[in-house]
Amino acid sequence: MARKGLFSKFKDYNYILDQLLERKRFQENSKNLLLSMFYKIETSYDDYAKIKIVNSSKSHFLDEIIKIIDEYCNHIYLLDPKKEEIQELKKRHTWALTDEREKKIYSYPTEVALLYGIADIKPKYFFIHNKYDYLKDSFQKVLVDGSNLNKTEVIRNFNGWSWDVDGDKNINCLNNLIYQDLAIIFGSAFLKRWEGDSSPKKDYIAEIKKRLKDGYDEKIMHSFYISLMRLLLVVSNDHEDNIAIYNKALKSYEDISNKSEYILKISREKMKISKSLEQIEKILNSQELLIREYNRRNKLRSDDKKYFSLEGLVNDLSRKKELRVKRFKQLMELSKPSSYLAMKEELKEKINILSVFSKDSIDVLEYVKAFQKEVIKCIDKEIEEITEKEEYIELLYKLRYLKKLRVDSNTKIEDIKVLNNLVEKLMKKIVTKACENRIFNVFARNVDLNYWIISRVIDSQIINFETIDISLMKEKVDGQEVISVLIYDNDVLEKKEDIDFEFDKKDLAVRFKKQVSLYVL
C-alpha cells in the first residue's frame, strides 16, 4: 500500500498510485522504488521549478509520470549491480534500457535510474527533415537523451534541502548541455511539442531558424545555427562517415557551380525521362505491344523471376512511370532560378558545417565554447528588450543555472574563464538594471561594488532570491579592518565572505550589521 500523506493534499496521489501499482502487479522491490521516487519528486519539485523557472505544476509533472507508467510500462526489472545482468547497462553507459514493444524497463535499482527508464520508454519523435540527413542521427540522439536527463533532474540535483549539481558528473554532460541550451533559448514547450509531434511533415530546424531570425536577427540566427550543428557533429562518433559526406558535398557544389553545365545536365536527364515515359505509355496503351514486351522480358528472366501474368508487367511499368514522373517534376523545379540558388545555398551551408572535418584534429571544447557564446549572445539581446520587472529575475535565474551546467565531469561553464566572464558581464547588467528599477535594494553606490555584494547571493546555492537578506559587518582581523558580506536565507546565515578589493566605505549604501532584504519589499 502507498504511504499515508506521501503526496500533495490537492490530489489524492496515494490512491492513484496505489491503484496503478495494483493494476500493474509490479514486483515488490519495483513498487517500493516507485513510491520512493514519487516521494522524492514531491519533496524536490518546488525547488527545481524555482531554479529552472519551470511554469508547469508539480501535479502536471506527477500526472505525466503516472500516465507514462500506465500506458507504456508493464514490467520493471531492477538489475543487481553485482551480477552479470548489469553488464549491458554498463556497456551502453546508461542507467536504464527499455523495450517499447514489450513495455519493459531494465534499470539500476535507484530512483534516478528508474525515472530515466520511465522517461525513455515514452515514444519520442523529434523528426528531422530529410534535407538534414547528415545531422539526423546526431541531433535525435542528443534530443532523446537530453529529454530523459531533463526529466530526472528534479531528483538528480535536488533533495528538498539544496541544489547540488555534483550529481551531473555521471551523465552525458554534452547531451544535457545542448538540450538545456535549447530549452533556455526556445523554451521547454517547444522541445516538448517537437518530441511529441508524430507527423514527419513539419521542419523543426526551419522553425528554429525562423525563431532566431524573428527573435534576434539574421546574423545571430546564422552563427547560432552553424555553431549548434557543428557541435552536434563533433560530439557524434561518426567522424569517418561525416568526412565522406563532406567530400561528397564539395563535389556536388563544384558540379552545380557551373550554371550552364548544370542546366544542360538537367535538360539531358529530362529528355531521357520524356523518351522513357513515351515508350511506357505506348506499351501500356497497346495490347499487342504489351504482350510483345511481356514475352521479351520473360525470355531474359530466370524461372523464379518470370511474370505469371500481364498484370505483373502492367504493375511494374506503372510504378516506373510514377517514379519517372516524380523525378521529372523534381527536375522542372530544380531548373527554376530560385530553386537553383536555394540548392546552392543549402550546399554551401552544409559544407560550412561539415568543414570541421577538414581539420587534422578536432577539439570538442572549442565547439562547446563557440556554441555557448551564441547562447549567451541571445540572452544579451533579450536583456536589451526587457519590459517587465519579472523578466530581469527570470533571466538572472537562467544565467545562474547556465553557469552550473557541465561540459564534462570535471568542468562547468563557470570553470571556463572566457565563458564565465561573458556570463558575469550579463549578470552585472541585469543586477544593475534590477537595482535601477527598484527590484533589488542598492547595497553600494559604486556599481562594481554593488554587483560584487549581490553576486555573493547568485554564486551561492540558495534556491530562492526572495528569502535572502544581506548584511555588512566591520571587524578587526590581525589589526586590519575587514568588511564582510553576510548572506542570510530565512534568517539563517548561509555564507560569509570578506570583500577583498579596495573600495571607499562612503560608497556603501546600508548600515553595518543591519539585515537588508535583497528584494525591495
Are 80 and 86 in contact, with CB atoms under 8 Å apart? yes
Closest to 121 (Cα-Cα) out of 105, 143, 135: 105
Looking at residue 341, what is its pLDDT?
87
d(CA 521, CA 512): 20
Query: pLDDT band at 254, cuts 50/70/90?
Result: confident
Is 272 a residue whose pLDDT tops 50?
A: yes
Please write the tens of the pLDDT for every residue from 235-253: 987 788 888 888 998 988 8
Are 108 and 95 in contact, with CB atoms under 8 Å apart? yes
d(CA 370, CA 225): 11
Is 327 a residue whose pLDDT tops 80?
A: yes
Is 337 a residue whose pLDDT tops 80?
A: yes
Q: What residues does 105 pair with on adjacent strands?
A: 76, 98
Is 6 a residue whose pLDDT tops 50?
A: no
Please write the tens of the pLDDT for every residue from 116-159: 999 999 999 999 998 898 899 999 999 999 999 999 999 999 98
Closest to 397 (Cα-Cα) out of 53, 137, 106, 153: 53
Segment 294-322 mean pLDDT: 91
Q: What's the mean per-residue pLDDT of the chain?
A: 91
Segment 182-196 mean pLDDT: 96
Looking at residue 4, what is its pLDDT?
43
Looking at residue 450, what is its pLDDT?
96
Is 16 a residue whose pLDDT tops 50?
A: yes
Query: pLDDT band at 310, cuts 50/70/90?
Result: very high
Percent of the chain with pLDDT over 90: 73
Looking at residue 55, what is its pLDDT?
85
Tell me the domain boundaries of the chain. 1-164, 257-347, 440-521
Looking at residue 239, what is its pLDDT?
80
Query: Residues 6 or more apart from 355 whose CB is under 8 A from it?
Result: 246
Segment 340-348 mean pLDDT: 87
Looking at residue 5, what is its pLDDT?
46
Are 408 and 419 in contact, with CB atoms under 8 Å apart? no
Least confident range from 8-22, 79-93, 288-302, 304-318: namely: 8-22
Please write the tens of the pLDDT for every residue from 35-46: 999 999 999 999
Backbone angles phi, psi at 471, to 5 degrees: -135, 145
Closest to 234 (Cα-Cα) out of 373, 362, 409, 372: 362
Are 331 and 266 in contact, with CB atoms under 8 Å apart? yes
N-to-C CA span, the chain? 46
Query: CA of 431: how far to CAs of 117, 426, 485, in Å?
Result: 40, 9, 17
Please write the tens of the pLDDT for every residue from 53-80: 998 899 999 999 999 999 999 999 999 9
Looking at residue 480, what is its pLDDT?
86
Going 300 to 304 to 309 to 315, the CA torsion angle's sign is negative
Closest to 71 (Cα-Cα) out of 118, 22, 38: 118
Are 156 and 104 in contact, with CB atoms under 8 Å apart? no
Query: pLDDT band at 10, cuts 50/70/90?
Result: very low
Give exposure, 329-341, as e/b (b: 16+ Cβ within 10 Å): eeeeebeeeeebe
Please write the tens of the pLDDT for every residue from 430-488: 999 999 999 999 999 999 999 999 999 998 888 999 999 999 999 988 888 899 999 99
3-class state of residue 235 by DSSP: coil
Percent of the chain with pLDDT over 70: 98
Is 9 a residue whose pLDDT tops 70?
A: no
Query: pLDDT band at 22, cuts 50/70/90?
Result: confident
Looking at residue 459, what is its pLDDT?
87
Query: CA of 32: how far to CAs of 58, 78, 385, in Å?
Result: 21, 11, 49
Looking at residue 11, what is its pLDDT?
64
Looking at residue 424, what is its pLDDT?
96
d(CA 278, CA 266): 18
Are 311 and 260 in contact, with CB atoms under 8 Å apart? no
* Strand residues in 202-274 grouped as ranges (E): none
Is 172 a residue whose pLDDT tops 90?
A: yes
